[in-house]
Amino acid sequence: MYDVVTFIKQNVENDNILVFSSILFLLPAYIAYQNKMYLHSIVTVFAALISCHNWLQYRKTNKSTKLDIY
């Protein structure tokens, strides 16, 4: 149990767990692809790429991507 706690603390400090959670977006994309919902699959893959890019950019620059949608 101690190893699990130290692993989580180390990865949360390095933001690796956040990048991993962004990669988990690919699971619903795969399910949508298997159910022939291709547009939903493409949108979900795009969201995963934006999320991964945002966390990796934040790790390097401490500035997150701002999408001006308003």
Per-residue pLDDT of the chain (70 residues; tens, 9 = 90+): 677 777 766 665 556 666 677 777 788 888 888 998 998 888 888 888 887 777 777 766 766 555 555 4
pTM score, whole prediction: 0.56
DSSP secondary-structure letter at 66? -
Burial of 40 (0-12, 13-18, 19+ CB in 10 A): middle
Give the pLDDT score at 12. Answer: 59
Cα–Cα dist 56/52, whole Å: 6
Q: Indicate the SS3 state at residue 25.
A: coil
DSSP secondary-structure letter at 14? T
Q: Where are the domains of the chain?
A: 2-61
- Inter-residue long-range contacts of 29-34, CB under 8 Å, 24+ positions, other chains counted: none
